[in-house]
Amino acid sequence: MANILVEQADFVRVIKVNRPDKLNALNIETLKEFLKVAQSAKEDRNTRAVVLTGAGDKAFIAGADIEEMNKMTPTEAKEFSDLGNNLVSTVENMGKVSIACINGYALGGGCELSLGCTFRFLSEKAVLGQPEVKLGIMPGFGGSQRLVRFLGKPKALELCITGRNIDAEEALILGLGNRVYSKEDLFPKTLEFAKEISQLAPIAVRYIIEAINRGSECTLREALDFESHLFSLCFATEDMRIGTTAFLKKQKPNFTGK
């Protein structure tokens, strides 16, 4: 792959956008490569957590590629938006934990991709924002719609309309960031967390993600019903017996993923 690097560390897959000279901006080729890699991570039973990050020390992803967008027709722009949305939704619904390891700028499409992740871990130097309005466009990889669900209408409107950037501290206060680390600690701490998560029962983790993702889109009554069904399905897993038995025997569970 020209623009994506992939590494496997035990049950954790690390996916890195590798266009540091363009601050890892997402062009069509990169989006297509990323989508393939995300789909393969979704299908791989030996991948239980995924870390997404950007190459270099300046940027996670500084947005969609502005040079490429500059020449797009409306039809091409729609296809581009659909491709990005497909990627973010694939990450969001991978059925495993995804962590955006935000080592610098996460702007426009970069911020939008991070919103599809289960968690966002930030370096102290991280900068997030939806600056599309300054280019005469608007978010197109789901940013306006996920931000309103994450932050509520007043903040989503403010961030998308002003296009102002926020730093790590503000992102943490708003709840967009889950953790903030020094630049040096960010990647090792993220990997450590991903490895810890990958020791948990993967089917239970998947059901929790599904319950929260789908449940937040339907009525409370439907969502409670859905949760109850997923809860009962956990009892069909080996891991449920392993986890509860280990507790009763005061032992550490060794989950099998079955």
Residue 222 falls in the annotated catalytic set: no
* CA 17 and chain centroid, separation: 13
Name the one range near ligand HXC by CB under 6 A: 33-41, 107-115, 214-222, 239-247: 107-115
Number of residues that bind ligand HXC (CB under 6 A): 22
Q: Does 23 bind ligand HXC (CB under 6 A)?
A: yes
Q: Read out DSSP for 111-173? A: HHHHHTSSEEEEETT-EEE-GGGGGT----SSHHHHHHHHH-HHHHHHHHHH---EEHHHHHH
Nearer to ligand HXC, 22 or 48 (CB): 22
Question: Residue 236 half-sphere exposure, CB side, CA atoms within 13 Å?
Answer: 7
Catalytic-labelled residue, pool 112, 169, 227, 238? 112
Q: By CB under 6 A, is residue 109 in contact with ligand HXC?
A: yes
Q: What are phi and psi of 36, to 5 degrees?
A: -60, -45
Q: What track of x and - describes contact with ligand HXC for positions 199 through 228 (by CB under 6 A)?
A: ------------------------------
Contact 241, 201 (CB under 8 A): no
**Which residues in the 125-184 window bind ligand HXC by CB under 6 A?**
131-132, 135, 139-141
d(CA 168, CA 106): 11
CA angle 132, 217, 119 (to 5 degrees): 60
Out of 67, 132, 184, 192, the active site residue is: 132
Of all residues in the shown chain, the one whose CB is closest to ligand HXC is 108
24-83 residues in contact with ligand HXC (CB under 6 A) are 25, 62-67, 80-81
Nearest Cα to Cα of residue 56 among 98, 12, 7, 105: 105
Collapsing DSSP to helix, strand or coil, 12 comes out as: strand
| Active site annotation includes 132 | yes
Q: Pick the closer one to ligand HXC by CB: 140 or 202.
A: 140
Question: Residue 94 interacts with ligand HXC (CB under 6 A)?
Answer: no
157, 128 Cβ separation under 8 angstroms: no
Question: Considering the complex, what minimum distance in angstroms separates the CB of residue 69 from ligand HXC?
Answer: 7
* Binding interface with ligand HXC (CB under 6 A): 22-23, 25, 62-67, 80-81, 84, 105, 107-109, 131-132, 135, 139-141
Annotated catalytic residues are 112, 132
